[in-house]
C-alpha cells in the first residue's frame, strides 16, 4: 500500500515528532494502517477512541493502563485533572523509562475540540510536559485548520491519507469474493455495483455492505439455471433495478439490512410492500385532519396577501409563473385563525367549529406533521408551521380529490 511509505517516515524507535495529525476520508485506511503498523513493529502503544471517552478520566485511565499497567491506572484520583495525569505519568516513567517511542493513537480526534479547552494543546505537547519519549497520533476526517485553538498551539506534523481511486476500490472489494464463484464473475458484479453507486458514495464500508447484501440476488438467475456466468448483459438486467431500489431503501437506512435480506427471499409480488421508516404515506388520517393538513400546507407556502385570491369564490386572474421561491425557503408560520379560515374555505360541506376539529389540530402536532412555533403558554394565538413535504401533501390531496397545485402560489 502506498500509504505505508508515508507512515514509515515517522515510526522509528528513536525520538519521534511529539504529535502527528493524520486526516482523510472515512474508510480510507487510517486506523487500519496504524494498527497493522504498530502490531507488526511491536511498538508500545495505547489506542483510544474519543467517542468512548465521554470524560477525560477514561482517556487517562486507558493510557496509563496500556503503558504502565493497572496499578498505575488505579493511582488516578476520582475525576482526575490533566495535572494529576501528567504527575502520575511522570512518576511512572521515571520508574520505567521508555526504551522505544510510545505511541498514543486517538481516533475520531475531532471530538477533542468539544472537551476542555486545555486538553488538546496539552496533548500536542505531551512529550515536553511529561519529559518522556511519547508521540500522540491524531486520526480524524476533519482538517487541522478547524482544530487550531485561538492562541495557537504546538503544530503537529500533518499527513493526508488519500482516498481510494475507482480501480483500487474495485480491487479491494473483489477480495471479499465468495469461494464458490470465480474471481471474474465477482469482479463483474463489483463493476456493476460500482457503476450504480460510485457516483453517489465512495465510502468503502458502505460499498462492502451493499456488495454483501446484494450478491445473492445477483447469483439468483445463475442458481436457477437461466443464465451462464459469462452472460453479463442478462445478469445486469436482472440486478440493476434491484440495486436502484437498494439505493432508495437500504442505502438510506430506510429499511434495515435484515428486512432487505428477507425481502429478497420473498416472492416478487409480495416484495412491493417494503415499508420504509419515513414512508408514512400509510398513515391514515381522518377526513377532516387531511383537510386541516392541506389547509396548513397552503397557509405555510402561500403568502398571506394572496389568500384573498385563492379562497374567495371569485375568478382567478392570469399571472406569469413565478419561480419556486416559497418552496425553497421553507414553510412560514401562520396563526390559528388563518388556518381555520383556509380550512373552512377548502372543505366542501359546512363544518361546525367544534372541539373535535381543534383536537385534530393538536394530534397533527403530536404526529409532527405540524410544528408549533409559538410558546406553549400563548393559548389565544398559537402559531404553527406545516412540516410535510410536497410529495406527501400531494398524496394526501389525491385521496380526498383535492387539486392542491391549483391553490399554490408558486405554481400559478
Partner 1 sequence: MSKRKLTDAHLPVGECITQVQEILRERLCCQKLPDRPEGVEAQHKHLLELLKRTAVHGESNSVLIVGPRGAGKTMLLKCVLRDLLEDKEVQKNLLQVHLNGLLQTDDRIALKEITRQLHLENAVGDKVFGSFAENLAFLLEALKKGDRSSSRPVLFVLDEFDLFAHHKNQTLLYNLFDVSQSAQAPIAVVGITCRLDVLELLEKRVKSRFSHRQIHLLSSLTFPQYLERVRTQLSLPDDFPDGKFAEDWNASVKTLCEDKSVEDVLQRHFNSSKDARSMHMLLMFCLSRVSVSRPAIKPADLLEASRLCFADAKANMLHGLSILELCLIIAMKHLNDVYEGEPFNLQMVHNEFKKFLQRKSNSMYNFDQPVIMKAFEHLQQLELIRPVDSSSAKIQREYQLMRLMIDHSQIMEALQKYPQCPTDVKQWAMSAFG
Beta-bridge partner residues of 19: 136
**In Å, how far are 12, 155, 382 from 8, measured between CA atoms?**
8, 20, 64
To which H or E segment does residue 381 belong? none
How far the first Cα of the chain sits from its last, in Å, is: 59
Q: Which of 262, 183, 175, 252 is nearest to 216 (CA)?
A: 262
Positions in the binding site for partner 1 (CB under 8 A) = 8-10, 12, 14-18, 23-25, 28, 81-83, 86-87, 116, 118, 121-122, 125, 127-129, 141-146, 151-155, 157-160, 162-163, 165-166, 198-202, 247-248, 251-252, 254, 278, 324, 327-331, 371, 373, 385, 387, 389
Q: How far is the CB of 202 from partner 1 (least distance, A)?
A: 5
**Which C-beta is closer to partner 1: that of 83 or that of 356?**
83
Distances (CA, A) of 345 to 370, 384, 395: 20, 19, 20
Of 82 and 172, the one with the shorter C-beta distance to partner 1 is 82
| Helix H or strand E encompassing 23 | strand 19-23
User: Under a CB-based contact definition with an 8 Å cutoff, are residues 160 and 21 in contact?
Assistant: no
Kindly tell me which of 130 and 295 has the beta carbon lying closer to partner 1: 130
Closer CB to partner 1, residue 25 or residue 242?
25
Q: How far is the CB of 322 from partner 1 (least distance, A)?
A: 13
State which residue, 80 or 263, has the beta carbon closest to partner 1: 80
CA atoms within 13 A on the CB side of 337: 4
Q: d(Cα 326, Cα 16) in Å, to the nearest integer?
A: 58
- The closest of 345, 340, 319, 329 to 411, measured between CA atoms, is 319
Smallest separation (angstroms) from partner 1 to the CB of 245: 11
Beta strand 157-160 with 334-335 is: unpaired
Residue 157, strand partner residues: 20
Comparing CB distances to partner 1, the nearer of 121 and 221 is 121
Residue with cell 409480495: 270
**Which CB atom, from 183 or from 325, has the smaller least distance to partner 1?**
325
Question: Rounded to the nearest whole angstrom, what is the least distance from the CB of residue 161 to partner 1 in the complex?
Answer: 9
Confirm if 67 and 43 have CB atoms less than 8 A apart: no
Nearer to partner 1, 64 or 159 (CB): 159
Q: Can you spell out the DSSP letters for 116-134?
A: -TTHHHHHHTHHHHHTSSE
d(CA 235, CA 296): 48
Distance of closest approach, residue 37 Cβ to partner 1, in angstroms: 14
Which residue's CB is nearer to partner 1, number 134 or number 263? 134
Supply the minimum distance, in Å, between the C-beta of residue 120 and partner 1: 10
Contacts 24+ apart (CB under 8 A), 33-36: 33/1, 33/3, 33/4, 33/7, 33/161, 34/7, 34/105, 34/137, 34/139, 35/105
Q: How far is the CB of 371 from partner 1 (least distance, A)?
A: 6
Find the shortest distance in angstroms from Cβ 213 to partner 1: 17
Distance CA 2, CA 24 (A): 14
| Beta carbon of residue 128, minimum distance to partner 1 (angstroms, whole number) | 8
Amino acid at each position: 500500500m502506498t500509504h505505508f511509505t508515508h507512515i514509515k517516515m515517522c515510526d522509528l524507535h528513536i525520538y519521534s515528532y511529539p504529535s502527528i495529525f493524520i486526516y482523510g476520508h472515512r474508510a480510507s485506511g487510517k486506523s487500519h494502517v496504524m494498527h497493522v503498523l504498530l502490531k507488526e513493529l511491536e511498538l508500545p502503544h495505547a489506542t483510544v477512541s474519543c467517542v468512548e471517552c465521554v470524560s477525560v478520566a477514561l482517556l487517562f485511565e486507558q493510557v496509563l493502563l496500556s503503558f504502565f499497567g493497572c496499578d498505575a491506572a488505579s493511582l488516578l484520583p476520582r475525576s482526575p485533572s490533566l495535572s494529576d495525569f501528567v504527575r502520575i505519568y511522570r512518576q511512572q516513567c521515571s520508574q520505567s523509562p521508555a526504551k522505544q517511542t510510545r505511541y498514543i493513537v486517538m481516533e475520531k480526534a475531532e471530538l477533542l475540540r468539544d472537551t476542555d479547552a486545555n486538553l488538546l494543546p496539552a496533548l500536542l505537547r505531551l512529550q515536553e510536559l511529561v519529559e518522556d519519549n511519547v508521540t500522540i497520533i491524531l486520526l480524524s476526517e476533519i482538517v487541522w485548520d478547524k482544530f487550531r485553538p485561538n492562541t495557537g498551539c504546538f503544530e503537529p506534523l500533518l499527513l493526508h491519507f488519500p482516498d481510494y481511486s475507482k480501480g483500487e476500490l474495485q480491487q479491494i472489494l473483489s477480495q471479499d469474493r465468495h469461494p464458490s464463484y470465480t474471481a471474474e464473475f465477482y469482479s463483474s458484479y463489483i463493476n456493476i455495483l460500482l457503476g450504480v453507486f460510485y457516483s453517489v458514495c465512495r465510502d468503502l464500508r458502505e460499498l462492502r455492505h451493499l456488495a454483501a447484501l446484494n450478491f445473492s440476488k445477483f447469483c439468483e438467475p445463475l442458481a436457477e439455471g437461466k443464465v451462464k456466468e459469462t452472460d453479463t448483459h442478462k445478469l445486469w438486467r436482472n440486478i440493476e433495478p434491484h440495486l436502484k431500489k437498494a439505493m432508495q431503501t437500504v442505502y438510506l437506512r430506510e429499511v434495515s439490512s435484515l428486512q432487505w435480506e428477507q425481502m429478497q427471499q420473498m416472492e416478487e409480488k409480495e416484495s412491493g410492500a417494503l415499508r420504509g421508516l419515513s414512508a408514512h404515506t400509510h398513515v391514515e388520517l381522518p377526513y377532516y385532519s387531511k383537510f386541516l393538513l392541506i389547509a396548513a400546507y397552503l397557509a405555510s407556502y402561500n403568502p398571506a396577501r394572496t389568500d384573498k385570491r385563492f379562497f374567495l369564490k371569485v375568478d382567478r386572474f392570469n399571472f406569469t409563473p413565478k419561480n419556486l421561491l416559497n418552496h425553497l425557503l421553507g414553510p412560514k408560520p401562520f396563526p390559528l385563525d388563518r388556518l381555520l379560515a383556509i380550512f373552512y374555505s377548502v372543505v366542501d360541506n359546512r363544518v361546525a367549529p367544534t372541539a373535535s376539529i381543534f383536537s385534530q389540530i393538536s394530534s397533527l402536532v403530536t404526529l409532527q406533521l405540524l410544528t408549533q412555533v409559538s410558546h406553549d403558554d400563548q393559548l389565544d394565538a398559537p402559531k404553527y408551521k406545516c412540516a410535510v413535504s410536497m410529495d406527501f401533501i400531494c398524496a394526501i390531496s389525491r385521496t380526498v380529490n383535492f387539486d392542491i397545485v391549483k391553490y399554490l402560489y408558486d405554481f400559478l
